[in-house]
């Protein structure tokens, strides 16, 4: 039940966002980029207080937080650079020709309107209040209303203050950014249903993301929900590689599996390999490696309880063998791994569900058909890793063709935890890992989620947006009659 005062406050904030959207429509890409760089500068200048507060709220190590803060600053700056370059305007100009019935056609992208962002708990900087979703939405020209994650309220407030300070310094409308600290699920529903909200960005559980997706699609005017909901991120290890580096691969795998107490959305929860001596060596090494992992406190009590519950459910499934488990009396997340046969993994859907935390399943197959069936029944994944030699890849072309349809990022060796904030990164995959596999939530291309195209037909040059004017005042790259260039158009105007 939402209190009336809460809905009144939210309505006021959304109205402010709707008004601020009209302001942002008239800002240039250079002005928005300047604003984004100023936010980056302000976050970068935040001192030890920020790190200390976040460490106390999340138990994340200071070194990890220092790196994540730098990544967050880098996100704002790299997205700003991309926005200023006009990449996401995708300006298209097809000049009038005698053979064309419609005459002069010009198209570019504009922001879609106010965006609701749900902060994530596992990345209190990079995927939360001042994270990539907020940066990319503002870069697209969309006001943001952030629903802060209750696991780190002080951190969220500090980051919100950084953004609002820049808004005041620029003299921009207050509604460019709003920070909502209400914790009820009903608030999330209310925000998603509000007729003035035009998109939602979410990082978290499948249950939460799918609920928002369903709410948005039941609206009279459905809106997009860009939800990143995690996955099991399987590793397919092939025989030639496993024979030569079983022990090294076990060390690499457990390092990735338990990084950050397993609280990464790209955590490799499943390891798949052929039954035999190389896999036995891998499992023995894995057992030894797990015993060396010191349990650590998880992000918050809810995540810990969910991890323990889901871990126990998986371990208690039929035809499952416990490889190793680190026991602790504390509330810290303790690593564990189990083994099962391919047929059991295929037939028991419980084993294909994500266990968010330091928990892995080793699946041993005996035939190529079992391996192909595992691939065919896989749900959509953020990542799939191929641990292989070149020969292994050549011998498994049909399998890899199937796996390409199952993920957003396909790795050749290495482990999937962590992302690079660059144009080439894809952090998003087929459902249920995300609700729209066409987009990424990491890298400058994240801006694409919050724009839509509009076409101008036969408009006088003086009334066109700068992105489409003949003299190209922004000096951006545009496609003119099918050819990319940044030149001015030498046309007579009337």
Residues 191 and 288 in one domain: no
Residues 206 and 254 in one domain: no
d(C-alpha 406, C-alpha 387), whole Å = 17
Query: 3-class SS at 382?
Result: strand
Helices (H) and strands (E) in the chain, counts: 15, 17
Residues 91 and 40 in one domain: yes
- Parallel/antiparallel/unpaired status of strands 144-147 and 225-228: unpaired
Q: Given a cut of 70, is residue 494 above it in pLDDT? A: no
Residues 212 and 296 in one domain: no
Residues 310 and 385 in one domain: yes
Residues 158 and 292 in one domain: no
pLDDT at 4 (0 to 100):
61
Residues 169 and 278 in one domain: no
- Residue 378 near residue 287, CB atoms below 8 Å: no
228 catalytic residue (yes or no): yes
Q: DSSP of 426-439, one letter per residue?
A: ----STTSBS-TT-
CB atoms within 10 A of CB 67: 14
Helix (H) or strand (E) holding 272: strand 270-274
The candidate with the shortest Cα–Cα distance to 199, out of 219, 182, 185, 183, is 219
Q: Given a cut of 80, is residue 2 above it in pLDDT? A: no
- Is residue 459 in some structural domain? no
pLDDT at 493 (0 to 100):
47
- Is residue 72 in some structural domain? yes
pTM for this model (two decimals):
0.94
Catalytic residue of the set 57, 68, 228, 289: 228
* CATH code of the domain in which 337 resides: 3.40.309.10
The candidate with the shortest Cα–Cα distance to 444, out of 427, 463, 464, 469, is 427
Residues 161 and 220 in one domain: yes
pLDDT digits (tens, 9 = 90+) for 153-209: 999 999 999 999 999 999 999 999 999 998 888 999 999 999 999 999 999 999 999
Residues 148 and 215 in one domain: yes
CB atoms within 10 A of CB 171: 6
pLDDT at 326 (0 to 100):
84
> Which domain, by its residues, includes 208?
7-229+438-449
Domain count, the chain: 2
Region 459-474 average pLDDT: 97
- Residue 191 near residue 10, CB atoms below 8 Å: yes
In the numeric block, the tokens 């810990």 are attached to 304
């Amino acid at each position: 039940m939402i209190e009336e005062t809460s809905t009144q406050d939210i309505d006021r904030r959304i109205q402010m966002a709707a008004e601020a959207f009209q302001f942002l429509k008239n800002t240039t890409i250079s002005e928005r980029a300047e604003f984004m760089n100023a936010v980056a500068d302000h976050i970068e200048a935040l001192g030890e207080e920020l790190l200390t507060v976040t460490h106390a709220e999340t138990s994340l190590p200071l070194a990890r937080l220092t790196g994540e803060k730098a990544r967050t600053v880098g996100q704002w700056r790299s997205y700003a650079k991309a926005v200023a370059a006009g990449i996401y305007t995708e300006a298209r100009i097809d000049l009038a020709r005698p053979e064309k019935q419609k005459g002069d056609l010009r198209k570019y992208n504009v922001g879609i309107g106010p965006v609701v962002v749900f902060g994530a708990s596992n990345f209190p900087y990079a995927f939360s209040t001042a994270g990539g979703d907020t940066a990319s939405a503002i870069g697209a020209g969309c006001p943001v209303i952030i629903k802060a994650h209750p696991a780190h309220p002080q951190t969220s407030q500090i980051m919100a203050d950084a953004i609002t300070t820049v808004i005041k310094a620029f003299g921009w409308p207050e509604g460019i950014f709003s920070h909502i600290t209400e914790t009820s699920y009903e608030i999330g529903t209310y925000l998603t249903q509000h007729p003035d909200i035009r998109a939602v960005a979410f990082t978290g559980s499948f249950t939460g993301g799918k609920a928002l997706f369903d709410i948005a699609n039941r609206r009279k005017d459905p809106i997009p929900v860009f939800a990143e909901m995690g996955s099991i991120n399987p590793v397919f290890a092939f025989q030639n590689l496993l024979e030569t580096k079983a022990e090294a691969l076990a060390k690499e795998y457990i390092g990735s599996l338990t990084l950050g107490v397993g609280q990464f959305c790209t955590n490799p929860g499943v390891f798949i390999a052929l039954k035999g001596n190389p896999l036995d060596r891998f499992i023995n090494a894995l057992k030894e490696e797990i015993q060396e992992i010191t349990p650590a406190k998880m992000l918050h009590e809810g995540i810990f309880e969910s991890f323990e519950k889901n871990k126990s459910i998986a371990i208690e499934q039929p035809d499952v063998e416990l490889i190793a488990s680190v026991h602790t009396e504390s509330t810290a997340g303790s690593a564990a791994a189990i083994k099962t046969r391919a047929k059991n993994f295929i037939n028991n859907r419980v084993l294909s569900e994500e266990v968010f935390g330091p928990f892995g399943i080793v699946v041993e197959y005996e035939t190529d058909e079992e391996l192909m069936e595992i691939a065919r029944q896989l749900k959509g994944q953020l990542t799939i890793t191929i641990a292989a030699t070149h020969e292994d890849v050549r011998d498994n072309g049909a399998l890899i063709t199937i796996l390409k349809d199952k993920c957003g990022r396909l790795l050749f060796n290495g482990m999937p935890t962590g992302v690079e904030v660059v144009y080439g990164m894809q952090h998003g995959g087929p459902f249920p890992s995300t609700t729209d596999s066409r987009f990424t939530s990491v890298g400058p291309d994240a801006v694409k989620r919050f724009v839509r195209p509009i076409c101008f037909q036969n408009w006088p040059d003086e009334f066109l947006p700068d992105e489409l004017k003949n003299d190209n005042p922004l000096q951006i790259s545009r496609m003119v009659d099918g050819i990319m260039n940044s030149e001015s158009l030498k046309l007579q105007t009337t």
